[in-house]
Amino acid sequence: MGYSGARGGLEAILAAERLVRDARDHAPAPWASTEQITARFRLAVDRVQGEAGLYHEPTAADAFRQAEGDTLEAAHLVRAHRSTLPRLAVSEPVDPDEMVVLRRIVPAHRTPDGPQLLGRTTDYTGRMLEREPSPTGRTAPSSDRAVPTGRSSGAAQRQPGRFSAFLRSQDLLVEHTPADTAPFDVTRRPARPPAPRSAVLASMARAETGALVGLWYRSILGPDGDIHEVTLGEVRHGHLPLSVRHPHTGNPVRIGRFRATETEAIEDLDGADEDRTRFDVGYGLCFGHNERKAIAMANLDIACRRFGRTGPLEQLLLLTTDGLDSAGFLEHLKLPHYVTFRSMVERKQAVRATGVATEPPGRDCR
């Protein structure tokens, strides 16, 4: 494509960037520290971590500040930073059953195995705008970044059994034979349809949250706008251990932990070629506390399996939901396109000069 430089050249570009830095550095409010952003904007920080594919809260917070609150631009900054980091080791596969749960809800069952833990959420309160900060003197709330302690932190409370395990014990779940021999690393090579399930799940984990939710919503709407029945089996948010192989002993060594959100969605099978006596379960897992993305992932996982892994849905998931890809193409439209547009104008003028009919194809030009 024919691009030409911005009017004013390099000097104009540097001046434009200087305006951004001056406005940021001389704002009337004090500079927000990394710790403040991590504590006050935790959901935005978690979203940046997930869409960037790098779990490090200080880095995500710094990118969020530099991007002036634009989570997509912040994810772009973190991915660029990630590309400069050495790959020292590959972590061991994570067992989700080892999650130390901070929040766990089971919408499909009133009294599931283990407790319902509402955790830190505003899901059940009215959306009332608070114009002033909370009064001082209150007891500081517990952070979801700390491991729960006390009587409620036992294994039965913080590592409860799964609702899907209960359904499996009742012989109500369809069993699928895993087809992936090894996880597909979408950070090293692009995933293209038909792709293994691990590639689709990994792509969704890094997808732009709004794009994924929008695609999920469209997938459950019927032709008349009616919503197909959707049931959530379980939603969890908690800490997972991070382990790598010791370079000398070869034994797994735990080097840290990270927070993640996990969802299992239940689908009532009713297709002609499906086992109508059982349910199917979709899965979603992503960095941080991002329940919208995990829920959309779980339901789209089922949709891909039911409607074929080579269908249009998988193509949309792999090719259009990555925020950096789609936003990058959109942003490039702001670059100068003088040459290409001028050529389009000249072609139209040439056609008009020849006297060729300009009516749309298929219409009578007499």
Q: Which of 359, 329, 234, 229 is nearest to 1 (CA)?
A: 329
Distance CA 228, CA 271 (A): 13
DSSP per-residue codes, 336-361: --HHHHHHHHHHHHHHHHHT---SPT
Cα Rg, the chain, nearest whole Å: 25
Angle at 95 between CA 155 and CA 175, to 5 degrees: 105
Three-state DSSP class for residue 49: helix
Sheet holding 252-268, edge to edge: 100-105, 231-245, 252-268, 279-287
Q: Which of 103, 129, 114, 133 is nearest to 43 (CA)?
A: 103
For tokens 């002993």, what's the residue?
249
pLDDT digits (tens, 9 = 90+) for 123-135: 988 888 888 776 6
Which helix (H) or strand (E) is 313 found in, with range? helix 312-319
pLDDT for 28 beyond 90 = no
Distance CA 68, CA 306 (A): 41
Residue extents of the structural domains in the chain: 9-82, 96-119+153-327
Between residues 285 and 187, which one has the greater pLDDT?
Answer: 285
Which helix (H) or strand (E) is 20 found in, with range? helix 9-25
Instruction: State the average pLDDT over residues 246-267.
Output: 94
pLDDT for 21 beyond 80 = yes
Asked which of 3-7, 107-111, 207-211, 287-291 is least confident by mean pLDDT, the reply is: 3-7
Distance CA 72, CA 197 (A): 25
Q: Residue 57: is it exposed, middle or buried by C-beta count within 10 angstroms (0-12/13-18/19+)?
A: buried
pLDDT for 225 beyond 50 = yes
pLDDT for 364 beyond 70 = no
Q: Which residues are within 8 A (CB) of 303 and not within 5 positions of it... i.e. 6 or more apart?
A: 219, 282, 313
Count the neighbouring beta carbons within 10 Å of the beta carbon of residue 34. 16
pLDDT digits (tens, 9 = 90+) for 148-185: 544 445 666 788 889 999 999 999 999 887 776 788 99
Strand pairing report for 279-287 and 252-268: antiparallel
Distance CA 138, CA 28 (A): 28
Q: Which residues are within 8 A (CB) of 24 and not within 5 positions of it... i.e. 6 or more apart?
A: 68
Three-state DSSP class for residue 279: strand
Instruction: State the average pLDDT over residues 287-308.
Output: 91
Between residues 135 and 209, which one has the greater pLDDT?
Answer: 209
Which residues pair with residue 241 across a beta bridge?
257
pTM (two decimals): 0.86
Sign of the C-alpha dihedral computed for residues 308, 311, 312 and 314 taken in this order: positive
Exposure string for 119-152, b = 16+ CB within 10 A, e = fewer: beeeeeeeeeeeeeeeeeeeeeeeebeeebeeee
Three-state DSSP class for residue 173: strand
Which residues pair with residue 118 across a beta bridge?
none
pLDDT digits (tens, 9 = 90+) for 83-97: 999 988 889 999 999
DSSP state of 193: S
Distance CA 123, CA 250 (A): 45
Distance CA 355, CA 326 (A): 40
